[in-house]
C-alpha cells in the first residue's frame, strides 16, 4: 500500500553496496556483476524506491510529461467526447510512466505558439497531443520546425506529413447517406460547417461520394453551412422545409448531433413526424441521442481507442525518435441506426426505454 519514501541510501544499505554504486547504476555509468546488479534491483523493488522525479528527469533529459490543450466548448454545449478522450489518454500514459499536463488554449496565434514554446523551453514536456486541427495549423508548422515530438488527433493540409490519427468522418457520412438512399431517399439535405472547416469538409466528401455513386446530382440548395450549433440546425431546417415542394428534402443529415436536435425541433414544430415524414441523422452519438423522441440515428467515434493510440504513438516517437508508419491512421466510425431515420427501428425504440435496441451497422 502507501509507503514512506525510501532513499538511495536505504537501497544501498539493503543491497550491501555503497551509495555511489547504486547512483552510478541508475545513471548507467557503471557495469556491475550480474549478481550485484540483481541485489540492487531487488532492494529497489522491496523498498518501493522511486527516484525523485526531478533527479530522474534531469538524468534522462526528459520530463515524462505530455502537454495537451483544447479549445473550450461554447457555453451552451457540452463537449461530448472530452471526458472519454482525456481518461483514455491518461490511462495509456500512466501505463508507460507518463502524465498529462494541461494548459489553456489561446486563439491568438502568437499567444498560442508562445504557450507551446514556453513548455518546450522550460523542459516541462516531452511531446504534445494536438486536437481541433485545422488547415495550415500553425502549431504543426511550429513543432515540425523545432523537431519536437507531437501526434495530432485530426488531419490538416493533404500535402503535410506528420503523425496523426483521425476518425474517417467521410466514411461516416458515406454510410449514413447510403443508408438513406437504400431507404428510398433522393432529396437529402446536409447541415454542414463553414468551408474553412477541415473536419467539415472531410465529412461532406462522404456525402458527395455516396450521392455520386448512385448518380444522384448534387443540389447546392440542399447544402447549408453554418456553425455547428443547435440554433443553426433549427433555422436551417425551417428554411429547408419552406422550400417549394419539389425542392424540399425528405432527409436531413447533420454533421453533429446538436444541429440534428435543432432540425428535429423545427420539423416537429411544423407538425412533421421525424423518421416518417422527415428522416434526420446526427454525428457524435452524444449520450442523449438514444433518449430523444424519436431516438436519433448518429455516428459514433471510437474515442477510447483514439486516446490510447495517440499516446502510444507519441511515447514511441519520444522514446525511439522514429515516427510511426503509416504516418497517419484513419479509424472508421460506427453508424448507429435509430428511429429518426429508420421507421422499422421504431417499434423497439419508441418506448424510450433506455434499453431500446439499437441497429448497429459495422
Is residue 22 a contact residue for a copy of itself (CB under 8 A)?
A: no
Q: Which is nearer to a copy of itself, 247 or 352 (CB)?
A: 352
Binding string, residues 41-70; x marks residues near a copy of itself by CB under 8 A = ---------xxxxx-xxx----x-x-----
Residue 72 binds a copy of itself, judged by CB under 8 A: yes
Rounded to the nearest whole angstrom, what is the least distance from the CB of residue 212 to a copy of itself in the complex?
35
Q: Are the C-beta atoms of residues 119 and 129 closer than 8 Å to each other?
A: no
> Which segments of 122-241 does DSSP mark as H helices, in order?
138-145, 169-182, 198-213, 230-241
How many chain residues are in contact with a copy of itself, going by CB under 8 A? 64
State in angstroms the smallest separation of the CB of 256 from a copy of itself.
13
Question: By C-beta, is 101 or 359 nearer to a copy of itself?
Answer: 101
For the sheet with 334-337, list strands across it. 298-300, 334-337, 359-361
Complex with a copy of itself: residue 142 or 272, whichever CB lies closer: 142
Q: Is 296 exposed, middle or buried (0-12, 13-18, 19+ CB in 10 A)?
A: buried
CA distances from 103 to 25, 73, 113, 115, 124 (A): 36, 15, 12, 8, 12
Query: Nearest approach, Cβ of 65 to a copy of itself (angstroms)?
Result: 7
User: Computed over its alpha carbons, how large is the radius of gyration of the chain?
Assistant: 26
**To the nearest whole angstrom, how small is the minimum distance from the Cβ of residue 63 to a copy of itself?**
7
Nearest to 139 by CA among 167, 166, 164: 164
Q: How far is the CB of 50 from a copy of itself (least distance, A)?
A: 5
290 scored as a contact of a copy of itself (CB under 8 A): yes
Rule CB under 8 A: which of 256-275 touch a copy of itself? 261-262, 265, 268-269
Nearest-5° Cα angle at 195, 189 to 201 = 65
Distance CA 304, CA 284 (A): 13
Grid cell of 48 as nine digits: 518501493
- What is the rounded distance in angstroms from the CA atom of residue 294 to the CA atom of residue 350? 7
User: Judged by CB under 8 A, does residue 157 bind a copy of itself?
Assistant: no
8 Å CB contact between 358 and 328: no
Shortest distance, position 263 Cβ to a copy of itself, whole Å:
12
Give the shortest CB-71-to-a copy of itself separation in angstroms. 9
The CA distance from 268 to 148, in Å, is: 52
* Binding region for a copy of itself (CB under 8 A) out of 108-116, 187-195, 206-214, 219-227: 108-116
Q: Which of the stretches 13-21, 115-123, 216-224, 307-315 binds a copy of itself when contact is defined by CB under 8 A?
A: 115-123
Q: Least distance to a copy of itself from the beta carbon of 69, Å? A: 8
- H/E stretch holding 336: strand 334-337
Applying CB under 8 A, which residues contact a copy of itself?
A: 1-3, 5, 50-54, 56-58, 63, 65, 72-73, 75-80, 82-84, 86-87, 90-91, 94, 99-104, 110, 113-114, 117-118, 121-124, 142, 229-231, 234, 261-262, 265, 268-269, 286-288, 290-291, 293, 352-354
Amino acid at each position: 500500500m502507501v509507503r514512506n519514501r525510501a532513499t538511495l541510501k536505504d537501497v544501498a544499505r539493503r543491497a550491501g553496496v555503497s551509495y555511489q554504486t547504486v547512483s552510478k547504476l541508475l545513471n548507467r555509468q557503471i557495469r556491475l556483476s550480474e549478481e550485484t546488479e540483481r541485489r540492487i534491483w531487488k532492494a529497489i523493488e522491496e523498498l518501493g524506491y522511486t527516484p525523485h522525479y526531478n533527479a530522474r528527469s534531469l538524468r534522462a533529459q526528459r520530463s515524462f510529461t505530455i502537454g495537451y490543450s483544447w479549445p473550450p466548448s461554447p457555453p451552451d454545449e457540452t463537449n461530448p467526447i472530452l471526458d472519454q478522450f482525456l481518461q483514455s489518454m491518461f490511462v495509456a500514459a500512466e501505463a508507460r510512466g507518463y502524465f498529462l499536463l494541461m494548459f489553456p488554449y489561446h486563439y491568438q496565434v502568437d499567444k498560442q505558439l508562445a504557450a507551446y514554446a514556453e513548455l518546450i523551453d522550460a523542459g516541462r514536456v516531452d511531446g504534445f497531443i494536438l486536437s481541433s486541427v485545422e488547415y495550415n495549423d500553425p502549431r504543426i508548422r511550429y513543432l515540425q520546425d523545432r523537431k519536437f515530438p507531437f501526434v495530432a488527433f485530426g488531419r490538416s493540409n493533404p500535402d503535410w506529413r506528420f503523425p496523426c490519427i483521425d476518425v474517417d468522418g467521410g466514411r461516416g457520412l458515406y454510410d449514413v447517406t447510403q443508408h438513406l438512399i437504400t431507404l428510398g431517399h433522393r432529396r437529402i439535405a446536409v447541415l454542414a460547417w463553414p468551408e474553412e472547416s477541415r473536419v467539415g469538409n472531410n465529412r461532406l466528401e462522404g456525402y458527395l461520394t455516396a450521392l455520386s455513386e448512385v448518380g444522384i446530382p448534387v443540389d447546392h440548395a440542399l447544402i447549408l453551412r453554418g456553425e455547428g450549433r443547435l440554433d443553426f440546425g433549427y433555422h436551417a431546417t425551417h428554411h429547408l422545409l419552406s422550400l417549394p415542394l419539389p425542392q424540399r428534402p425528405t432527409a436531413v443529415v447533420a454533421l453533429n448531433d446538436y444541429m440534428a436536435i435543432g432540425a428535429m425541433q423545427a420539423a416537429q414544430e411544423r407538425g412533421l413526424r421525424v423518421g416518417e415524414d422527415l428522416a434526420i441523422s446526427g454525428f457524435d452519438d452524444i449520450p442523449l441521442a438514444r433518449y430523444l423522441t424519436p431516438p436519433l440515428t448518429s455516428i459514433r467515434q471510437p474515442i477510447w481507442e483514439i486516446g490510447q493510440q495517440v499516446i502510444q504513438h507519441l511515447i514511441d516517437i519520444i522514446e525511439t525518435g522514429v515516427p510511426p508508419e503509416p504516418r497517419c491512421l484513419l479509424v472508421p466510425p460506427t453508424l448507429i441506426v435509430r428511429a429518426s431515420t429508420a421507421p422499422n427501428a421504431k417499434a423497439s425504440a419508441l418506448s424510450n426505454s433506455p434499453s431500446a435496441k439499437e441497429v448497429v451497422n459495422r
